[in-house]
């Protein structure tokens, strides 16, 4: 058993083809994580709760996309239904359940989310069955991979990275510039004052939760062709995206992006150099950040 | 004003010191009585199922009560406390399988190992604010779980520690005998609960309550909050590991599920179910959850949905644990009697 394989890592770092392959695979891990983590961080920034059941939205996004793809055969519709379905789910979840535990102690919020992790996993098991499922690569992307500097890059990866970057840009600009973005930021700072100005804060809360759920669902839908689907698939993503938000700083969108990319690259290159300690590297990195900067790399700003 | 406040906050620290001795006698008596009752149980009801149930209650009860020291007494919501349960089970199992030392030696060595791990993880975690603390402890739990899964040559990966744990007799106690195992588990449970009770009622225990209620004020009157939190984190880990060891002895093995995050989630739920305001609340919660789990497993394969709905009922509907209701009911009755 090899614990550390620095030779493999070094030979990859010096070969352009391997560098390209590993970097792209790191980027898609990072981009998927970013979409989940940014929802988590947004919900925390505005609602001050950590959505412990956020991974379930990722899972539902993937399953919705798979079902829609099998029914219609259209990949665009699959992505759309993954995102829209989880947005509706997020809205219902927030209005009916989470809104009852705002301002109560963290224990209650965690328990409500914990209950839904259990319920959602079983619901998926009920509807889609406990076994591994796969959606399969859509026909439009069943083309030979591109070769960039000798490295293999499937075209689908480019789409995935592009969509995630577009989402990041829309989200960042929307929050910074648009009227709704300003209202959301104001609600994060002082919900009482926003409400006094005649704005329905409940609607904003529900909307932010739906947006967060939608982003996670989008990540799930985008991941469906390249990952196997299983009940409980959301949980490991949740833990990783939480690590991302801890590294980037809770409430910071830029932090989520940087944190997600760092984790993605650590995972893809770490699997070469430390095959048995890849997960451990992630935690190690988190610990280093936490000890040196307890609020995360970009912890000061609030979304 | 400041002097008055300082006086007020110092007061509760003095109270237990006066009451400690008679209370401790009472606790010793209760513990002895509980142990005698449990020990006599096999003579009255010989059913193996019941004894198995009590052994499982001992394992989970120690774990849940130690979690209450963190959640209820200190306000540290650990979502990764189950890692110490898993560490205890694996540490003890491996020690017995690989080295063949006597059981008490393996017991102490496992506690020592847990101590070291808990000090390292605790030192990183206890500084963090509550939601960070909850998730970073959870992250460490997942790290330990994934280490157990990937370190196959040592831990057997997802198959767990197989082949049974050797249980050589020591001091006339033979743990491969079911009755001996039962009595030993009960003894460990009662001793563990007694020790935790002493911690909770000690001046240190009241310091913890103060940290929970107002950490800033606690640090103003000269309490080293970080050290107190770390101390209780490590102590709680030791009791959780003891629970894990009972579990390893009971199933004669260790499985990755013992270190999975759901154990921590169940622990939190047990505390909610029983109530965190009383010392024995988690024990009551343990018995309830195990009964609930056993019933639900028999009725449906979708236990998650049933458990989830029960959790929601408690968290959103009742907003309290069962023991909280009992305590309130007694208080109300006493009040009525006086009035």
Find the residue in B nearest to A245 (Cα): B132
Cα–Cα distance between A168 and B152 in angstroms, integer?
A: 40
Residue A142 lies in a domain: no
* C-alpha distances out from residue B275 to A49, A198, B133, B184, B270, Å: 23, 40, 21, 27, 8
From CA A195, how far away is CA A202, in angstroms rounded?
Answer: 9
Kindly determine whether residue A106 and residue B134, on different chains, have CB atoms separated by under 8 Å.
yes
CA A295 to chain centre: 20
Residue B315: closest C-alpha in chain A: A108
Give the whole-angstrom CA distance, residue A55 versus residue B49.
Answer: 38
Closest B-chain CA to A96: B316
pLDDT per residue over B241-255, tens digit each? 999 999 988 888 788
Which residues of chain B make contact with A101, given a CB cutoff of 8 A?
A: 315-316
| Residues of chain B with C-beta less than 8 angstroms from the C-beta of A291 | 124
Question: For chain B, what are the domain ranges?
Answer: 2-260
Query: A166 to chain B, minimum CA–CA distance in Å?
Result: 29
Q: How far apart are CA B67 and CA B268, in angstroms?
A: 8
Q: Closest Cα to residue A116, out of A51, A65, A67?
A: A51
Cβ separation B143–A235 shorter than 8 A: no
CB B72 within 8 A of CB B277: yes
Candidates B124, B139, B272; nearest CB to A243: B139
| Helix axes B2-44 and B48-68, enclosed angle (nearest 10) | 170
pLDDT category at B66 given cuts 50, 70, 90 is very high
Global pTM value: 0.83
- Residue in chain B closest to A114 (alpha carbons) equals B265
Give B90-112 pLDDT, tens digit per residue.
988 888 888 878 888 888 999 99
- d(C-alpha A288, C-alpha B124), whole Å: 10
> What's the total number of domains in chain A?
1
Q: Is residue A164 part of a domain?
A: yes
Q: Is residue A109 part of a domain?
A: yes
DSSP B223-283: --HHHHHHHHHHHHHHHHHHHHHHHHHHHTSB-GGGGSHHHHHHHHHHHHHH-SSSTTHHH
pLDDT score, position A300: 61
Q: Which of B154, B212, B312, B324 to mutate to test the interface with A (most CBs of A within 10 A)?
A: B312
Q: Residue A106, SS3?
A: helix
Task: State chain A's mean pLDDT as an integer.
Answer: 85
Kindly give, in sequence order, each residue whose CB lies less than 8 Å from that of residue A230, ignoring residues fewer than 6 positions away: A130, A131, A132, A133
CB-CB contact of A40 with A54 (8 Å)? yes
Looking at chain B from residue 216 to 275, which residues have their Cβ under 8 Å from any Cβ of chain A?
Answer: 261, 265, 268-269, 272
Chain A environment of B302 (Cβ under 8 Å): 122, 125-126
Distance CA A223, CA A218 (A): 8
From B271's Cα to the closest Cα of chain A, the distance in A is 10
Q: Alpha-carbon distance A192 to A30, whole Å?
A: 36
A153, containing H or E segment: strand A151-153
Answer whether A290 touches B (CB < 8 Å).
yes
Query: Which residues in chain B are contacts of A50 at CB distance < 8 A?
Result: 131, 134-135
- Which residues on chain B are in Cβ contact (under 8 Å) with A121? 304
Residue B73 contacts A, CB cutoff 8 Å: no
Residues of chain A with Cβ-Cβ distance to B268 below 8 Å are 107, 110-111, 114
Rounded mean pLDDT of chain B?
81
Establish if B317 touches chain A: CB-CB under 8 angstroms.
no
Taking contacts as CB-CB distances below 8 angstroms, the residues of chain B near A247 are: none
């940087």: which residue's tokens?
A258
Q: How many residues does chain B have?
A: 339
Residues of A in contact with B153 (CB under 8 A): 1
Helix (H, G, I), strand (E, B) or coil at A148: strand
Alpha helix positions (H), B72-129: 82-98, 103-125
Distance from CA of B77 to the nearest CA of A (A): 7
pLDDT at position B338? 54
As a whole-number percent, the residues of chain A with pLDDT over 90 amount to 20
Among chain B residues, the shortest Cα distance to A118 is held by B304
The whole-angstrom distance between A294's CA and the closest CA on chain B is 7
CATH assignment at residue A248: 1.10.3470
Residue A190 lies in a domain: yes
Q: Do B302 and A126 touch (CB under 8 A)?
A: yes
Confidence band of A85 (pLDDT split at 50, 70, 90): very high
β pairing state of A146-148 and A151-153: antiparallel
Residue-level pLDDT at A107: 79
User: Does residue A4 belong to the interface with chain B, where contact is any CB pair within 8 Å?
Assistant: no
Task: Tally Cβ neighbours within 10 Å of residue B130.
Answer: 14
Backbone torsions φ then ψ of B253, nearest 5 degrees: 175, -175
Q: How many CB pairs under 8 A join A and B?
A: 106
B296 CB within 8 Å of a chain A CB: no
CA of B57 vs chain A CAs: smallest distance (Å): 22
What does the alpha-carbon distance between residue B239 and residue B234 come to, in Å, rounded to a whole number?
9
Determine whether the interchain pair B268/A242 forms a contact, defined as Cβ–Cβ distance below 8 Å: no
Residue B188 CA to its chain's centroid (Å): 12
Asked if residue A303 is part of any domain, the answer here is no
Say yes or no to pLDDT of B47 above 70.
yes
- Tell me how far CA of residue A111 lies from CA of A237, B62, B184, in angstroms: 19, 21, 33
CB A239 within 8 A of CB B142: yes
pLDDT tens profile B4-46: 444 444 444 444 455 556 677 888 888 788 877 777 777 777 7
* Burial degree of B94 (CB within 10 A; 0-12, 13-18, 19+): buried
- The reply to whether B134 touches chain A by the CB within 8 Å rule is yes
What is the C-alpha to C-alpha distance for residues B64 and B62, in angstroms, rounded to an integer?
A: 6
Query: Given an 8 Å threshold on Cβ–Cβ distance, is B139 in contact with A283?
Result: yes
CB contact under 8 A, A112 and B134: no
ipTM: 0.79
Residue B308 or B326, more confident: B308
Comparing A8-17, A129-138, B316-325, the range with the smallest average pLDDT is B316-325
User: Tokens in use for A99?
Assistant: 């809104």
Looking at the complex, report in whole angstroms how far the Cα of residue A130 sits from the nearest Cα belonging to chain B: 11
CA distance B31 to chain A (A): 30
User: What is the distance between the alpha carbons of residues A149 and A296, in angstroms, rounded to a whole number?
Assistant: 35
Which residue(s) pair with B254 in the sheet?
B161
Per residue in A233-286, pLDDT (tens digit) is 888 888 888 889 888 888 788 888 999 999 999 988 888 877 777 777 888 888
Mean pLDDT of A199-226: 90
Q: Does A110 touch chain B (CB under 8 A)?
A: yes
- The count of other CB atoms within 10 Å of the CB of residue A11 is 12
Terminal CA-CA length for chain A: 45
- In sequence order, the 6+-apart residues with CB closer than 8 A to the CB of A195 are A201
DSSP 3-state of A151? strand
Q: Identify the closest residue of chain A to B71 by CA–CA distance.
A: A107
Q: Is residue A241 part of a domain?
A: yes
CB A148 within 8 A of CB A20: yes
pLDDT tens, residue by residue, B162-201:
777 777 777 777 777 777 888 888 889 999 999 998 898 8
Alpha helices in chain A (DSSP H): 6-14, 16-47, 54-72, 75-96, 106-128, 155-177, 179-189, 191-196, 201-223, 233-248, 253-273, 278-292
Q: Is residue A64 part of a domain?
A: yes
B71 contact A CB<8A: yes
Note down the domain range covering A260: 6-128+154-292
């Amino acid at each position: 058993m090899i614990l550390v394989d620095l030779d493999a890592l070094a030979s990859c770092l010096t070969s352009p083809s391997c560098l390209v392959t590993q970097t792209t695979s790191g980027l898609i891990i990072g981009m998927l994580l970013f979409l989940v983590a940014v929802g988590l961080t947004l919900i925390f920034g505005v609602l001050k709760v950590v959505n412990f059941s956020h991974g379930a939205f990722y899972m539902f996004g993937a399953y919705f996309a798979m079902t829609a793809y099998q029914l219609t055969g259209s990949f665009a519709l699959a992505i759309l239904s993954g995102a829209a379905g989880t947005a509706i789910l997020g809205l219902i979840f927030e209005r009916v359940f989470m809104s009852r535990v705002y301002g109560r102690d963290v224990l209650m919020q965690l328990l409500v989310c914990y209950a839904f992790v259990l319920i959602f996993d079983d619901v998926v098991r009920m509807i889609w069955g406990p076994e591994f499922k796969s959606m399969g690569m859509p026909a439009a992307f069943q083309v030979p991979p591109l070769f960039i500097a000798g490295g293999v890059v499937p075209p689908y990866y480019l789409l995935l990275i592009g969509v995630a970057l577009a989402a990041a840009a829309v989200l960042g600009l929307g929050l910074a510039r648009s009227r709704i973005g300003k209202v959301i930021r104001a609600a994060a700072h002082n919900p009482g004052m926003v409400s006094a100005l005649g704005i329905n804060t409940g609607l904003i809360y529900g909307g932010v939760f739906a947006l967060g759920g939608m982003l996670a669902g989008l990540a799930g839908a985008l991941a469906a062709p390249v990952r196997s689907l299983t009940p409980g698939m959301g949980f490991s993503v949740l833990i990783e995206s939480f690590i991302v938000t801890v590294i980037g700083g809770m409430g910071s969108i830029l932090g989520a992006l940087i944190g997600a990319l760092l984790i993605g690259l650590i995972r893809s290159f770490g699997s070469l150099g430390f095959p048995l300690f890849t997960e451990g590297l992630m935690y190690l990195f988190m610990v280093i950040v936490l000890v040196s900067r307890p609020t995360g790399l970009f912890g000061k700003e609030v979304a | 004003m400041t002097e008055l406040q300082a006086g007020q906050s110092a007061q509760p620290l003095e109270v237990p010191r006066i009451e400690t001795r008679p209370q401790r006698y009472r606790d010793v008596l209760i513990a002895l009585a509980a142990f005698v009752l449990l020990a006599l149980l096999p003579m009255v009801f010989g059913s193996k199922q019941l004894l198995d149930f009590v052994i499982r209650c001992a394992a989970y009860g120690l774990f849940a009560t130690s979690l209450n020291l963190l959640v209820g007494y200190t306000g540290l919501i650990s979502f990764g406390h189950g890692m110490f349960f898993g560490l205890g089970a694996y540490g003890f199992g491996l020690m017995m399988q690989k080295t063949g030392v006597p059981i008490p030696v393996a017991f102490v060595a496992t506690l020592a190992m847990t101590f070291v791990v808990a000090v390292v993880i605790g030192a990183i975690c206890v500084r963090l604010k509550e939601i960070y603390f909850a998730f970073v402890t959870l992250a460490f739990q997942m790290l330990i779980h994934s280490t157990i899964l990937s370190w196959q040559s040592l831990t057997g990966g997802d198959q767990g520690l197989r082949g049974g744990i050797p249980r050589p007799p020591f001091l006339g106690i033979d743990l491969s005998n079911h009755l001996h195992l039962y009595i030993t588990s009960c003894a460990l449970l009662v001793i563990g609960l007694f020790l935790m009770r002493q911690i909770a009622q000690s001046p240190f225990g009241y310091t913890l309550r103060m940290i929970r209620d107002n950490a800033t004020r606690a640090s103003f009157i000269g309490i080293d909050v970080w050290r107190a939190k770390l101390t209780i984190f490590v102590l709680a880990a030791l009791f959780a590991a003891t629970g894990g060891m009972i579990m390893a002895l009971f199933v004669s093995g260790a499985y990755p599920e013992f270190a999975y995050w759901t154990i921590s989630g169940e622990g939190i739920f047990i505390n909610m179910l029983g109530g965190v305001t009383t010392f024995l609340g988690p024990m009551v919660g343990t018995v309830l959850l195990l009964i609930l789990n056993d019933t639900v497993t028999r009725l449906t394969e979708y236990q998650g949905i049933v458990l989830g709905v029960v959790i929601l009922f408690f968290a959103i509907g009742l907003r309290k644990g069962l023991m909280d209701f009992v305590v309130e009911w007694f208080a109300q009755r006493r009040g009525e009697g006086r009035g």
